[in-house]
Amino acid sequence: MLVMTSIKAPSIVILTGAGISAESGIQTFRASDGLWHNHRIEEVATPEGFAQNPSLVHEFYNARRKQLHDPAIQPNAAHLALARLERNYPGKVLLVTQNVDNLHERAGSKQLIHMHGELNKIHCQQTGQVYNWDRDLSTTSTCQCCHQAGNLRPHIVWFGEMPLQMEEIYRALMACGLFISIGTSGQVYPAAGFVQIAQQAGARTVELNLDPTSNSAMFDESLNGTASQLVPSYVDQLLS
Ligand code: BV8
């Protein structure tokens, strides 16, 4: 249990993964079928896969982007609890998500980093210019910067690519007093290594996940259950 001194509330860094959006109806990556939306990850989530078959990758992300506009897909109690924590906690709270959906921002989180990009953004491969984009993207879509087709891609960090805002994330991890990992299997790096950085910085580390993960033993505390159950009650504890 974190004891908040009157002097300064320790800063909190939170890492979320697909598990926090599962109860909102968005499929996780490593569900039992092992495939991901019926595709091998190498085909649809690598630069090589995109170069090989851009239309297949556009289709894959167009389907996931469209799903975000389905009224049935809404932030759940876990997303809302994290936004409440940010609003009411006396110290700094940084939310780093591996998810590319927009449920954290729709729940009200503001101090938010999408380290693996966002479904509702695209960028030009020539200029790096990032655009908000909420509709289908294809090889014939033209960008405002080059005024030609074929340069636009999803603003998503694929395997082998550099995650976004890593400097800011490392700085926050080294300064935090509490690191909470929620709904992630801890299999993808560098995110899966964040718990060690926080630990070395002297932070308390907590894992909230449906099942034990390959990382569970590294945490000071590891609780199993659904995010919509565990997260609101953990936030209540932090705010009490
Ligand atoms: C990098 C965007 C250098 C795509 C994603 C060997 C060869 C090649 C590469 C590597 C290698 N070894 C290591 C690497 C690096 C590689 C990597 O880690 N590979 C793994 C597979 C071994 N990583 C990279 O390539 C990264 N880049 O390393 O660049 C570098 C290094 C350091 C510093 C700078 C540069 C880039 C990785 C990003 C790839 N893109 N996503 C898209 O979304 O379309 S990754 C993708 O999978 C997600 O974004 C997420 O990050 C990741 C993990 O998924 P999870 O979120 O954890 O989801 P998962 O399904 O796995 O787990 C869900 C969990 O939720 C489960 O535990 C489940 O129990 C739980 N759960 C389910 N329901 C609930 C629940 N919990 C609570 N409540 C519930 N209801």
Catalytic option among 58, 104, 114, 116: 116
pLDDT at 34 over 60: no
Question: Rounded mean pLDDT of 20-43?
Answer: 80
Coarse DSSP helix, strand, coil percentages of the chain, rounded to the nearest 5 percent:
35, 20, 45
Cα gap 220→180, rounded to integer Å: 10
Cα gap 108→177, rounded to integer Å: 23
Summarised one tens digit per residue, pLDDT across range 104-148 is: 999 999 999 999 999 999 999 999 999 999 999 999 999 999 999
Nearest CA to ligand 1 atom 10: 160
Q: Which burial class, exposed, middle or buried, applies to 47 when counting CB atoms under 10 A from its CB (0-12, 13-18, 19+)? A: middle
CA 8 – ligand 1 centroid, Å:
33
**Beta 117-124 vs 130-132: how paired, if at all?**
antiparallel
Question: Rounded mean pLDDT of 215-238?
Answer: 98
Summarised one tens digit per residue, pLDDT across range 56-94 is: 999 999 999 999 999 999 999 999 999 999 999 999 999
Cα gap 210→213, rounded to integer Å: 9
4-13, 20-29, 37-46, 149-158 — most confident range: 149-158
Cα gap 170→162, rounded to integer Å: 14
Cα dist from 35 to 8, 44, 64, whole Å: 46, 11, 15
pLDDT at 6 over 80: no
Q: Does residue 197 line the site of ligand 1, with CB under 6 A?
A: no
SS3 13: strand
Could you tell me the pLDDT band of residue 235, with boundaries at 50, 70 and 90?
A: very high
Could you tell me the pLDDT band of residue 29, with boundaries at 50, 70 and 90?
A: confident
222, 162, 219, 209: which is closest to 190 by C-alpha?
Answer: 162
Sign of CA dihedral 225, 85, 114, 120: positive
Contacts of 28 (CB under 8 A, 6+ apart): 17, 18, 19, 21, 22, 183
Q: Check if 37 is active-site.
A: no
